[in-house]
């Protein structure tokens, strides 16, 4: 029997956990590979794969490729090697499309990202990696929010633009950036790692969307204390991470900033200052239910100049009862949180998962049990593998994400996910939301069927996205005009293949946008069934990685 005091110390130790002590890369395809291996019962059954699940160690990559680690320095003090060289090319014919792009941007036209780097282990405890990312995009102009919509529609749209930093287009003309990418320096001791990092993070069980932390934005500078493997206790195993970091603005203004409605400018200039983010994730795998993983994730953010208390820099808001800092009392600190569950069934080669989040409150189990309306969101999904011949499988996967406000009362006072009335860049970094890439007020449904064998995959993904329903209802309810939901329907063909030291990944998507930017082409005001603003977009992506 574990004493309560000892148990609390074990939980704290698990929270102040780690990422892999080995060098890592961020790769969604590899994330899926090891997730599927867990469903087959051949990979880390005690790992939740919900704490930085996108980060795959180079040791695991080498194992998947059937390679031995290649080092250019190998002695008693230093071991050093190269990270994979990666080239990602993407092109959209008419409109930006897709998310979870990391350093790349949503853009029309051709775009390329190149990444390469080196890693080293110094002595027994220190690991470091320098893996910058170079991004270059043509960033061609495309149709934006339409001038055919009336001034009220523009003013209502600005309510959302004024409370978040998610630009329509990333400036005018070509876009070029060099970012630190998947770089870090860490001190590792047992199952605990601490350091400074700019790596992308992913928290939660979702595959296509995650409410609190995803790869939708570039990695941001942060200090981290995290686990590198599950910590076993008398009641099960724990994983976790605590971060404190800096978020930056895009520096890009929305369109028509000098527009006036009811005698007032619709654009409200933002306070241009870096924001501080504090976040944590903790998962628990109870020893009585080996395939069950329970978790909590949360984050808070505020302007650097509003930090006035040690609790402002720690992610423990809500853990100390009614104790609140001055920033919290004055509404100058924003927070979001989620509870999640993942249930892995190796005997059925399947999994079920769900993440349930709440905005502007530290989400604890007791905060869910309320009858008052509140802003919530959720991600739910399943995955199932069916064995075929030659160790291959057919994969069926589906995921549902719901982020629109649940009641008319909340829609009429817009305060969507990732927006804030005081910290008006919202929950973003460099112009992209840190959570679900579909954006505030949006919903999506994704279904995929694929043939998979190791790193190889051939499949199709079908997806429906309804963008910012919070804005749609807020702006057009007075017209009783419920025709103009902006919806994207997409079919994407996917292919992944490995050959010796190469990894190839390609996809081709056909996307039809209905009522794009909520616009209906109406010539006769008495014609209700007017055609919507429809656009056909073709999106292609080709990635090649080489492992030395």
| Phi, psi for 49 (deg, rounded to 5) | 50, 35
For the chain, percent of residues with pLDDT exceeding 70: 88
Question: How far apart (Å, rounded) are the C-alpha atoms in residues 56 and 363?
Answer: 29
Residue 200: closest CA among 380, 548, 435, 504? 435
Instruction: List the beta strands (DSSP E) in 116-235.
Output: 118-122, 126-130, 133-137, 175-179, 184-189, 192-197, 222-227, 231-233
Question: How far apart (Å, rounded) are the C-alpha atoms in residues 501 and 70?
Answer: 12
The predicted pLDDT at position 11 comes to 33
How confident is the model over 446-488, as pLDDT tens digits? 999 999 998 899 999 999 999 999 999 998 887 777 778 999 9
Q: Is the pLDDT of residue 146 over 60?
A: yes
The predicted pLDDT at position 175 comes to 97
* Residue predicted with more confidence, 11 or 181: 181
Residue 139: closest CA among 103, 184, 104? 104
The predicted pLDDT at position 147 comes to 87
* Helix 469-476 vs helix 151-161: crossing angle, to nearest 10: 150
Q: What is the mean pLDDT of the chain?
A: 88
Per-residue pLDDT, averaged over 127-148, amounts to 95
The predicted pLDDT at position 7 comes to 32
The predicted pLDDT at position 330 comes to 86
Question: How far apart (Å, rounded) are the C-alpha atoms in residues 476 and 385?
Answer: 43
Is 100 exposed, middle or buried, given 0-12, 13-18 or 19+ CB atoms closer than 10 A? buried
| Phi, psi for 282 (deg, rounded to 5) | -140, 130
Question: How far apart (Å, rounded) are the C-alpha atoms in residues 363 and 337?
Answer: 5
Per-residue pLDDT, averaged over 340-355, amounts to 96
The tokens of 124 are what? 């027994």
User: 316-333: b or e for each residue (b if 16 or more CB lie within 10 Å)?
Assistant: bbbeeeeeebebbeeebb
Task: Out of 3.90.1150.10, 2.40.160.130, 3.30.950.10, 1.10.10.10, select the CATH number for domain 24-546.
Answer: 2.40.160.130
**Sequence-ordered list of residues with C-beta below 8 angstroms from that of 265, at least 6 positions apart, any chain:** 257, 258, 259
Per-residue pLDDT, averaged over 433-445, amounts to 96
Q: Is the pLDDT of residue 19 over 50?
A: no
Ranges 125-134, 317-326, 384-393: which has the least confidence:
317-326
C-alpha 366 chain-centroid distance: 26
Residue 448: closest CA among 437, 435, 464, 436? 464
C-alpha 486 chain-centroid distance: 22
Q: Is the pLDDT of residue 371 over 80?
A: no
* Distance set, CA 478 to CA 326, 412, 482 (Å): 39, 11, 10
The predicted pLDDT at position 26 comes to 61
Count Cα neighbours of 455 within 13 Å in the Cβ-side half-sphere.
Answer: 21
The predicted pLDDT at position 547 comes to 87
Alpha helices in 78-117 (DSSP H): none
Q: Is-contact 377 354, C-beta < 8 A?
A: no
Radius of gyration for the chain, computed over Cα atoms and rounded to the nearest angstrom: 23
How confident is the model over 205-226, as pLDDT tens digits? 999 999 999 999 999 999 999 9
The predicted pLDDT at position 375 comes to 82
pLDDT band of 56, cuts 50, 70, 90? confident
The predicted pLDDT at position 361 comes to 63
Per-residue pLDDT, averaged over 361-385, amounts to 74
Q: Is the pLDDT of residue 337 over 80?
A: yes
* Distance set, CA 439 to CA 216, 373, 471 (Å): 10, 21, 12
pLDDT band of 14, cuts 50, 70, 90? very low
How confident is the model over 181-202, as pLDDT tens digits? 999 999 999 899 999 999 999 9
Q: Is-contact 330 302, C-beta < 8 A?
A: no
* Helix H or strand E segment including 109: strand 109-115
3 state SS of 12: helix
How confident is the model over 411-430, as pLDDT tens digits? 777 789 999 999 999 999 99
How confident is the model over 280-304, as pLDDT tens digits? 999 999 999 989 999 999 999 999 9
Q: Is the pLDDT of residue 366 over 70?
A: no
Ranges 55-69, 140-154, 248-262, 495-509: which has the least confidence:
55-69
Pairing of strands 118-122, 126-130: antiparallel
For the chain, the helix, strand and coil percentages under 3-state DSSP, each to the nearest 5: 15, 40, 45
Per-residue pLDDT, averaged over 100-129, amounts to 95
Per-residue pLDDT, averaged over 21-49, amounts to 77
Q: Is the pLDDT of residue 360 over 90?
A: no
* Distance set, CA 176 to CA 102, 105, 163, 221 (Å): 14, 10, 26, 20
């Amino acid at each position: 029997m574990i004493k309560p005091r000892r148990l609390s110390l074990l939980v704290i130790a698990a929270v102040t956990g780690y990422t892999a002590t080995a060098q890592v890369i961020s790769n969604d395809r590899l994330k899926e590979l090891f997730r599927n291996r867990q469903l087959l019962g051949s990979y880390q059954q005690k790992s939740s794969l919900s704490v930085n699940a996108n980060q795959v160690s180079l040791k695991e990559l080498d194992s998947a490729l059937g390679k031995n680690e290649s080092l250019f320095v190998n002695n008693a003090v230093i071991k050093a090697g190269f990270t994979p060289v990666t080239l990602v090319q993407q092109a959209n014919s008419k409109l930006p499309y897709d998310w979870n792009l990391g350093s790349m941007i949503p853009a029309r036209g051709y775009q390329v990202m190149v990444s390469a780097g080196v890693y080293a282990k110094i002595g027994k405890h220190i690991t470091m990696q320098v893996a910058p990312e170079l991004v270059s995009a043509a960033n061609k102009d495309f149709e934006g929010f339409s001038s055919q919509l009336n001034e009220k529609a523009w003013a209502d749209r600005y309510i959302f633009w004024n409370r978040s930093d998610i630009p329509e287009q990333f400036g005018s003309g070509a876009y070029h950036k060099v970012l630190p990418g998947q770089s870090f320096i860490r001190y590792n001791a047992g199952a605990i790692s601490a350091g400074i990092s700019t790596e992308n993070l992913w928290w939660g069980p979702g595959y296509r969307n995650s409410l609190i932390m995803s790869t939708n934005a570039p990695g941001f500078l942060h200090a981290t204390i995290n686990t590198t493997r599950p910590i076993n206790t008398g009641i099960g195993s724990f994983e976790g991470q605590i971060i404190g970091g800096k978020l930056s603005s895009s520096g890009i203004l929305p369109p028509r900033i000098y527009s006036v409605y009811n005698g007032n400018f619709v654009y409200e200039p933002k306070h241009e200052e870096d924001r501080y983010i504090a976040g944590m994730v903790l998962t628990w795998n109870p020893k009585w239910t080996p395939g069950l993983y329970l978790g909590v994730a949360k984050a808070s953010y505020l302007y650097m100049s509003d930090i006035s208390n040690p609790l402002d820099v720690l992610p423990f808001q809500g853990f100390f009862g009614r104790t609140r800092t001055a920033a919290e009392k004055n509404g100058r600190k924003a927070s979001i949180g989620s509870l999640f569950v993942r249930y892995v069934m190796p005997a059925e080669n399947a999994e079920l998962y769900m993440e349930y989040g709440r905005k502007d409150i530290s989400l604890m189990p007791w905060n869910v049990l309320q009858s008052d309306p509140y802003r919530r969101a959720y991600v739910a999904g399943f995955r199932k593998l069916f064995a075929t011949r030659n160790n291959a499988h057919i994969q069926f996967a589906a995921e549902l994400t719901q982020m629109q406000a649940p009641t008319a009362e909340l829609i009429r006072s817009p305060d969507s996910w990732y927006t804030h009335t005081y910290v008006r860049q919202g929950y973003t970094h460099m112009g992209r939301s840190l959570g679900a890439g579909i954006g505030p007020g949006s919903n999506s449904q994704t279904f995929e069927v694929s043939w998979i064998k190791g790193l190889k995959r051939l499949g199709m993904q079908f997806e429906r996205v309804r963008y910012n329903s919070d804005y749609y209802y807020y702006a057009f309810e007075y017209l009783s005009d419920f025709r103009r939901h902006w919806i994207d329907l997409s079919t994407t063909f996917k292919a992944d293949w490995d050959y010796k030291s190469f990894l190839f990944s390609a996809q081709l998507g056909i996307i039809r946008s209905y009522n794009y930017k909520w616009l209906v082409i109406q010539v006769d005001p008495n014609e209700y069934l007017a055609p919507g603003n429809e656009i056909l977009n073709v999106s292609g992506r080709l990635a090649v990685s080489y492992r030395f």
